[in-house]
């Protein structure tokens, strides 16, 4: 593999979009308009996809860390001639504080170079390639020493803090020297060609303002449970994946990073999944982020709209878009030659029966804050989802893993159908005359009896992936988490043991199913929760700490972990992995929490 490991990348965000910067100083991914917009830097997915690198000319030893409670990344390069720090961030709006972060982000990438010791020769290599690498822009030197890059719908303005930048056809290659105590700031501003011009900001001043904006944001959140540093870090990552304008949380920053190097299970995760909804809401509450939880809830209710006969979509665009039709970028080689590269996600077309259970579980979590009666639109949504489950729970679906080879009667989907009606019954006093709690309770109990009868495999001694199946599935670990069965129930306890024995490695990685080639990070955190709920706190803590060891040096988690090498795989940073960390840490704090 001739490109950086997935774990080599650090995450920057302005809560509108995000960027990935490698340990080598190269920004290899940035979609400046919003998380799911076309990239201007896409070397992550193709060597010719565009990048912006600032690093010493000489080989260097690298140390890096986030400024505490921020996504402002400081990378220190130690060379034979001295040391230099490069601090990277996506700019916050000047003066933004608290929950204003991301509301009017200027779409400016800041890179500030500071000499620490000696004199270090630095090299800047700027090669933007908009529209996922399809466009090579014209570069125009500007009177102020900057460079304007224009192509198609994109304008980018690179300025060098007094450095006179020179173009070389389709790139800027610039060498400069930094002495101890010297500071050189660069900023790259994006704007659409037919809109307002790119913002002009002083990079050093704006970097300080951006740092203060993140600090002020995190000051509003207090967490007092186990593993506070890791929880606060994961909560900051979740904030960074939140599209502030709507409140939606992107499942990941990236598209098409592979589940297996060279494989074709490469999907676009830059959208917001209702499947993750209840777990995300719970993580926000655990991390003391009630405003984020409320805004996410409002986004979901607005996106779902009226519930009809069609399946409730599992995934939406960040502003509630429903049609996310998928296509392949055949001109891109893919990460480590893993094709195809996909834009869009056809999961929006699937029937996935778990979705209403996720949404109604989230409503139940918020019910104390919603008042004695729900507003008309929310009431209609809750009743509509309950009726939809009552009418459709017997149908097969694609399951929580969004399998594309056909529908089955997946156990976890039926469990979430039970959860949907269970929460609807509990919410009935707030629903008025349209609630039908007696009928909902009867169907809920029928679902439970069916799951207990059809989902159990006596030969294996576990609840399995689907009715009549002999395949194990780690999603069965969600049964105690949604309170379908206590973890101490003999059959549930047996299921936990079998999954731990057959799907888990000694190092704590849990696969989704027997043939899964990698550990799925959130499944390991689910196992932590189940062990804690079963009263095995020492084993749960030990497992939790093993899983923490798979994060990179910045505490970031992708979707999966290679079983043989421990390398991160899949899209990154993965919201669900960090959600799982937060919720498992709270379970270790209070095993009885709902």
- Give the pLDDT band (50/70/90) at residue 485: very high
Which tens digits make up the pLDDT trace of 320-360? 999 999 999 999 999 999 999 999 999 999 999 999 999 99
In 3D, which of 287, 289, 290, 300 has the Cα closest to residue 248?
Answer: 300
Q: What is the mean pLDDT of the chain?
A: 95
Determine the 3-state secondary structure of 259 from DSSP: coil
What integer pLDDT is reported at residue 545 of this predicted model? Answer: 98
For the cut 80, the answer to whether the pLDDT of residue 368 exceeds it is no
What integer pLDDT is reported at residue 288 of this predicted model? Answer: 75
- Establish if 268 belongs to a structural domain: no
3-state helix, strand, coil in the chain (%, to 5): 35, 20, 45
Number of domains composing the chain: 1
Token pair, residue 446, equals 């029928």
Alpha carbons within 13 angstroms on the beta-carbon side of residue 327 total 5
What integer pLDDT is reported at residue 100 of this predicted model? Answer: 67
- Give the pLDDT band (50/70/90) at residue 521: very high
Query: CB atoms < 10 A from the CB of 370, how many?
Result: 18
Alpha carbons within 13 angstroms on the beta-carbon side of residue 135 total 19
For the cut 70, the answer to whether the pLDDT of residue 21 exceeds it is yes
Q: What percent of the chain has pLDDT over 90?
A: 85
What integer pLDDT is reported at residue 95 of this predicted model? Answer: 80
- Establish if 200 belongs to a structural domain: yes
Token pair, residue 525, equals 């955190």
Token pair, residue 491, equals 């059959």
- Give the pLDDT band (50/70/90) at residue 554: very high
Q: Concatenated DSSP letters for 167-203?
A: EETTEEEEEEEEETT-EEEEEEEEEETTSSPPP---H
Token pair, residue 332, equals 């891109």
- Establish if 353 belongs to a structural domain: no
Q: How far apart are CA 340 and CA 327, in angstroms?
A: 9
Please name the helix (run of DSSP H) or strand (run of DSSP E) that holds residue 561, with its range, or none: strand 560-562
For the cut 90, the answer to whether the pLDDT of residue 219 exceeds it is no
User: What are the angstrom distances between the C-alpha of 308 and each of 100, 207, 313, 332, 385?
Assistant: 35, 48, 11, 39, 9
Q: What is the mean pLDDT of residues 251-270?
A: 97
Provide the 8-state DSSP code for 429: G
Angle subtended by helix axes 437-454 and 411-427, to nearest 10: 160
What integer pLDDT is reported at residue 1 of this predicted model? Answer: 46
Token pair, residue 23, equals 């340990």
Q: Concatenated DSSP letters for 122-142?
A: EEEEEE--TTTTT---EEEE-
- Establish if 355 belongs to a structural domain: no
- Give the pLDDT band (50/70/90) at residue 40: very high
Token pair, residue 470, equals 């002999």
Structural domain span for residue 72: 6-219
- Establish if 102 belongs to a structural domain: yes
- Establish if 364 belongs to a structural domain: no
- Establish if 151 belongs to a structural domain: yes
Token pair, residue 444, equals 């809920």
- The residues, ordered by sequence, that sit 6+ positions from 492 with a Cβ below 8 Å of its Cβ are 463, 479, 480, 485, 486
Q: How far apart are CA 545 and CA 70, in angstroms?
A: 23
Q: How far apart are CA 210 and CA 206, in angstroms?
A: 6
- Establish if 179 belongs to a structural domain: yes
Chain-centroid distance, C-alpha 484: 27
What integer pLDDT is reported at residue 342 of this predicted model? Answer: 98
Domain CATH number, residue 214:
2.70.98.10
User: What are the angstrom distances between the C-alpha of 331 and each of 39, 54, 71, 150, 341?
Assistant: 14, 27, 32, 21, 9
Alpha carbons within 13 angstroms on the beta-carbon side of residue 63 total 7
Phi-psi region of 399 (alpha: psi -120 to 50; beta: other; left: phi over 0): left
Token pair, residue 351, equals 């029937």
Q: How far apart are CA 112 and CA 491, in angstroms?
A: 57
Sign of the Cα pseudo-torsion (453, 457, 461, 466, in order): negative
In 3D, which of 248, 304, 315 has the Cα closest to residue 275?
Answer: 315
Q: How far apart are the first and last CA of the chain?
A: 44
Using omega within 30 degrees of 0 as the cis cutoff, is the peptide bond preceding 7 cis? no
Which tens digits make up the pLDDT trace of 164-200? 999 998 999 999 999 999 999 999 999 999 988 888 9
Which tens digits make up the pLDDT trace of 54-107? 999 999 999 999 999 999 999 999 999 999 999 999 999 988 776 667 788 999
Query: CB atoms < 10 A from the CB of 219, how many?
Result: 11
- Give the pLDDT band (50/70/90) at residue 377: confident
What integer pLDDT is reported at residue 358 of this predicted model? Answer: 94
Q: What is the mean pLDDT of residues 433-445?
A: 97
Pairing of β 26-30 and β 248-249: unpaired
Which tens digits make up the pLDDT trace of 111-156? 999 999 999 999 999 999 999 999 999 999 999 999 999 999 999 9
As a whole number of Å, the CA-based R_g of the chain is: 24
């Amino acid at each position: 593999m001739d490109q950086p490991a997935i774990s080599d990348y650090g995450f920057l965000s302005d809560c509108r979009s995000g960027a990935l910067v490698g340990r080598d100083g190269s920004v290899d991914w940035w979609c400046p308009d919003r998380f799911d917009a076309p990239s201007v830097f896409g070397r992550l997915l193709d060597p010719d996809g565009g990048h912006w690198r600032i690093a010493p000319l000489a080989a260097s030893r690298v140390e890096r860390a986030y400024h505490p409670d921020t996504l402002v990344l400081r990378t220190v390069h130690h060379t034979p001639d001295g040391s230099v720090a490069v601090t990277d961030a996506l700019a916050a709006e000047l003066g933004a504080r608290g929950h204003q972060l991301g509301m009017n982000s200027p779409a400016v990438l800041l890179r500030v170079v500071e000499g620490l010791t000696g004199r270090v020769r630095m090299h800047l290599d700027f090669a933007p390639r908009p529209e996922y690498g399809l466009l090579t822009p014209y570069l125009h030197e500007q009177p102020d020493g900057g460079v304007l890059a224009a192509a198609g719908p994109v304008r980018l303005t690179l300025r060098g803090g007094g450095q006179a930048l020179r173009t070389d056809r389709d790139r800027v290659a610039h060498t400069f020297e930094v002495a101890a105590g010297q500071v050189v700031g660069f900023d790259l501003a994006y704007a659409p060609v037919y809109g307002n011009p790119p913002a002009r900001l002083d990079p050093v001043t704006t970097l300080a303002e951006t740092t203060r904006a993140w600090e002020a944001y995190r000051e509003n959140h207090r967490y007092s449970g186990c593993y506070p540093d890791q929880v606060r870090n994961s909560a900051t990552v979740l904030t960074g994946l939140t599209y502030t304008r709507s409140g939606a949380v992107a499942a990941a920053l990236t598209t098409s990073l592979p589940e297996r190097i060279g494989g074709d299970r490469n999907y676009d995760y830059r959208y917001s999944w209702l499947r993750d909804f209840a777990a995300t809401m719970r993580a926000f509450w655990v991390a003391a982020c009630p405003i984020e939880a409320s805004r996410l809830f409002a986004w979901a209710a607005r996106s779902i709209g009226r519930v009809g006969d069609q399946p409730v979509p599992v995934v939406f665009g960040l502003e509630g878009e429903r049609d996310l039709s998928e296509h392949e970028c055949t001109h891109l080689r893919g990460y480590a030659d893993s094709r195809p590269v996909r834009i869009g996600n056809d999961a929006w077309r699937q029937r996935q029966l778990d979705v209403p259970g996720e949404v109604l579980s989230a409503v139940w979590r918020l019910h104390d804050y919603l008042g004695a009666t729900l507003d008309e639109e929310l009431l209609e949504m809750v009743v509509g989802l309950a009726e939809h489950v009552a009418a459709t729970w017997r149908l097969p679906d694609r399951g929580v893993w969004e399998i594309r080879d056909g529908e089955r009667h997946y156990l976890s989907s039926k469990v979430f159908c039970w959860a949907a009606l269970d929460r609807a019954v509990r919410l009935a006093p707030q629903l008025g005359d349209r609630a039908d709690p007696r009928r909902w309770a009867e169907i809920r109990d029928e679902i439970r009896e069916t799951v207990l009868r059809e989902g159990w495999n006596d030969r294996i001694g576990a609840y399995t992936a689907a009715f009549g199946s002999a395949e194990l599935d780690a999603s069965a670990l969600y049964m105690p988490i949604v309170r379908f069965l206590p973890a101490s129930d003999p059959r549930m306890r047996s299921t936990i043991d079998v999954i731990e024995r057959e799907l888990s490695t000694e190092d704590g990685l849990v696969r989704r199913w027997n043939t899964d080639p990698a550990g799925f990070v959130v499944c390991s955190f689910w196992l932590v929760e189940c062990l804690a709920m079963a009263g095995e706190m020492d084993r749960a803590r030990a497992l939790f700490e093993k899983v923490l060891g798979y994060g990179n040096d910045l505490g970031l988690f992708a979707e999966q972990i290679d079983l043989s090498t421990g390398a991160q795989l899949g899209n990154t940073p993965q919201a669900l992995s960090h959600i799982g960390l937060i919720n498992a840490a709270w379970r270790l704090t209070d095993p009885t929490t709902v």
